[in-house]
Structure 1
Amino acid sequence: MEEKSVNKTNTNGYTFLFAVIMVLVVASVLAFTATSLQPIQKENVRQEKMQSILATIGVETDRAGAQELYDKYIVEELTLDENGEAIEGTDAFQVDMAKELKKPVSDQVFPLYVADYEGKKYYIVPLRGNGLWNAIFGYISLKDDVNTIKGATFDHLGETPGLGAEITKEWFRESFEEEKIFDGSGNLVGVSVVKGDIDPSDKDDNKVDAISGATITGDGVSDMISERLKRYLPYFKKQTDIKVAIQ
């Protein structure tokens, strides 16, 4: 009796082997691609960070021009300890705020950027806090009285589009401009995002109008501004050229 020849490509073993080989090939290609793109991704993040810092003082730029303008207008990068003393040998730009906030305050470091733009001095403070679903973060710049806000930028990891995600919009960011962070007695109170009849022209009330339907995100913005800024009070109190009386 003549035996029928078996086509090995139709066997289960061959199919399994082929699948394993394809998985390994695809995984290798993806790993190689991810590794290859890492330097580009890191550079994009670095440039976007420069863009955000510059935007707080009114300097808008694309990623390609960020480095040049950053080098032009950011005249000092400081890393401070909880007493407001500069820490030598540290790179403020490389400080990971997410990691810092997991530490006790006494172990944290506090990056600070000093800008000179159009003959005026600005102090730029990184912000990070909690929104409704995930972290919110950004930068806020203070004029040389360290009381008046020049500008702010905000971003998030997972706020709801049309609600909490509105913190990234220009109209919301602009509402912080010229607001004061100290009350009339010289106490740091930050700027609160609140519902109600807010007069946008009153820049001494320490308040901006809330985003409709985004109360928790707004509270997160309020909390992170006051919490982060108060960490810089020891440094600001040491500066003899600051014009405002700080309690």
Structure 2
Amino acid sequence: MDKNSNAYTFIFAIAMVIVVAVTLSFTATSLQPMQAENVRQEKMQSILSTFVGDSVTIDGQKQELSRSVASKIYDDFILEELTLDNKGDLKEGENAFQVNLAKQLSLEEDKQTFPLYVAEFEGSRFYVVPLRGTGLWDAIWGYVALKEDANTIEGVIFDHKGETAGLGAEITTDWFQERFVNEQIYNESGEIVGVEVVKGYGGGDNKDDNKVDAISGATITGDGVSKMMENRLKHYKPYFEKVKKSGKVATR
């Protein structure tokens, strides 16, 4: 065939498209197990970091809580992975770790599943609640660890899909997340309200008013964090009230 003909050019282009498509498809398929494992390890790392911090002591040596380290020690600290309904009752046959909150949020509340992780670290018990909501541009998510009283925050971790760098994206920084430590999620009336991110907050280090200072220039993202915490945490009140009555949760 004449290499200068239109037919040759057309056939060559089709052949290249097919080769590239097959190569990309094979590469994507080959990488899927590795990508899934990375997601699994990152999730374990996020859950553990809310009450362990960014490092952990293993066999007398302090190590960074990397993804690989998290996957090795996860079962040592997570006592239970629970799935709850909106009445605080356990749901059978569902894996808490596999619950997709993005899909759950599209369901009616009485049909949703609420995952909860019960952990123990250095002699203390923690309850880790997954969070998901909406920021300025796209989804935001995270985890909050509550101390034994199921009220006081031990730690949080937030992440996002598309918040503005230097503004809303600052929810991922340590200095912002540290503001939530020791904040209360119940208000004075005994309702779960989470923690409100307030622009121009003047409460100083008050840990009993359910408020923290906002990120300058990121009001909408901050509002998203506030709504995310309240909307997700309030569904766990029935469960927390039940375990308090059973004596499994320390009361203040």
Q: 1:114 aligns with which of 118, 126, 129?
A: 118
Whole-Å Cα distance in 2 between the matches of residues 118 and 198 of structure 1? 34
User: For 1:111-142, what per-residue CA distance to the aligned partner results, in whole angstroms no more than 9, with x for missing partners?
Assistant: 00000000000000000001001010000010
Asked whether 1:86 is paired with 2:90, we answer yes
Q: Give the letter aligned to residue 218 of structure 2.
A: A
* Number of residue equivalences: 239
Q: Give distance in 2, aligned partners of 1:200 and 1:127.
A: 26
- Three-state SS of the structure 2 residue aligned to 1:76 is strand
CA distance in 2, matches of 1:177, 1:212: 20
SS in 1 for 2:52: coil
Structure 2 Cα separation of the partners of residues 167 and 59 of structure 1: 16
Q: How many percent of aligned residue pairs carry the same amino acid?
A: 59
**Pick from 183, 186, 210: which aligns with 1:206?**
210
Q: Give the SS at the match of 1:56.
A: helix
Measure how far apart 1:188 and its partner are.
Answer: 1.7
Q: RMSD of the alignment, in Å?
A: 1.2
Alignment of 1:31-42 (within 5 A): 31-42=25-36
In structure 1, the residue matched to 2:108 is: 104
Letter in 2 for 1:176: F
Which shifted more, 34-43 or 195-204?
195-204
Name which of structure 1's ranges 38-47 and 79-88 shifts more when overlaid on structure 2.
79-88
Q: How does 1:2-81 map to 2 (within 5 A)?
A: 8-60=2-54, 61-81=65-85
Q: Greater CA deviation, 234-243 or 87-96?
A: 234-243
Offset of 1:190 from its aligned partner?
Answer: 1.1
Give the counterpart of 1:189 among 168, 189, 193. Answer: 193
2:230 pairs with 1:226: yes
Partner of 2:57: none
| 1:175 partner SS | helix
Task: State the one-letter code of the partner of 1:27.
Answer: A
Q: Is the 8 A contact 1:175 1:200 kept in 2?
A: no
Residue number in structure 1 paired with 2:150: 146
Quote the offset at 1:59 in angstroms.
3.8
Contact 1:193–1:222 (Cα < 8 Å) also in 2:
yes
Q: 1:186: how far off?
A: 1.9
The reply to whether residue 243 of structure 1 matches residue 237 of structure 2 is no
Q: Deviations over 1:47-72 (max 9, x none)?
A: 00000000100243111111122111
Q: After the TM superposition, which parts of structure 1 deviate over 6 Å for at least 4 consecutive aligned residues?
A: none
Q: How far apart are 1:205 and its partner, in Å? A: 1.4
Equivalent residue letter for 2:251 = V
Gaps of 5+ in 1: 1-6
Measured in 2, the distance between the counterparts of 1:59 and 1:201 equals 21
Q: Bigger radius of gyration, 1 or 2?
A: 1
Q: Which moved more, 1:212-221 or 1:66-75?
A: 66-75
Offset at residue 185 of structure 1 (A): 2.8
CA contact (8 A) 1:198 1:207 kept: no
Given the two structures, how large is their TM-score scaled by the length of structure 1? 0.94
